[in-house]
């Protein structure tokens, strides 16, 4: 497992943007398939986006066009760029990682990831 630490959450107004970061301690993020999940109030945790170890990414269909995932290997950090946020995006956002290479159809499966951060709260409100 790899220790993960999310940051960048906070309060943002509807229509605003936010970038979340996930730092991997002592490990190179380039060696992991990494993902973002979120848990909205009263709902199950759901897939947001994932980035394969070698090329390829996936974003939840409902979030395409507003959310994007990227990685800075030099900074050993995974990012989630979110724009045009609305109240439905209010959630705790979690970073996850697995050392296994996953096929695209498996990226959204929570059980595929063995390392999880503690989450960062994003609140979209006036």
2: three-class secondary structure by DSSP: coil
* pLDDT for residue 104: 86
Contact 9, 19 (CB under 8 A): no
43: CB partners within 8 A, 6+ apart: none
114: CB partners within 8 A, 6+ apart: 1, 97, 98, 99
pLDDT at 51 over 80: yes
* pLDDT for residue 100: 86
pLDDT band at 63 (very low <50, low <70, confident <90, very high): very high
**Measured CA distances, 83 to 19, 48, 51, 93, 126 (Å):** 8, 13, 18, 15, 16
Tokens of 2: 């790899």
How far apart, in whole angstroms, are the C-alpha atoms of residue 12 and residue 22? 19
CA angle 51, 53, 67 (to 5 degrees): 10
Contact 116, 94 (CB under 8 A): yes
pLDDT band at 27 (very low <50, low <70, confident <90, very high): confident
For residues 37-48, average pLDDT:
98
pLDDT at 1 over 90: no
N residues, the chain: 126
* pLDDT for residue 10: 97
* pLDDT for residue 26: 82
pLDDT at 60 over 80: yes
75-100 tens-digit pLDDT = 999 999 999 999 999 999 999 999 98
* pLDDT for residue 46: 98
pLDDT band at 105 (very low <50, low <70, confident <90, very high): confident
């Amino acid at each position: 497992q790899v220790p993960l630490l999310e940051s960048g959450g906070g309060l943002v107004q509807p229509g605003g943007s936010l970038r979340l970061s996930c730092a991997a301690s002592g490990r190179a993020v380039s060696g992991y398939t990494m993902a973002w999940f979120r848990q909205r109030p009263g709902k199950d945790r759901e897939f947001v986006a994932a980035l394969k170890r070698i090329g390829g990414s996936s974003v939840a269909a409902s979030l395409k066009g507003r959310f994007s995932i990227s990685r800075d290997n030099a900074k050993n950090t995974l990012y989630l760029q979110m724009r045009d946020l609305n109240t439905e995006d209010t959630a705790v956002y979690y970073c996850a990682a697995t050392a296994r290479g996953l096929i695209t159809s498996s990226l959204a499966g929570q059980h595929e990831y063995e390392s999880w951060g503690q989450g960062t709260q994003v609140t979209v409100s006036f």
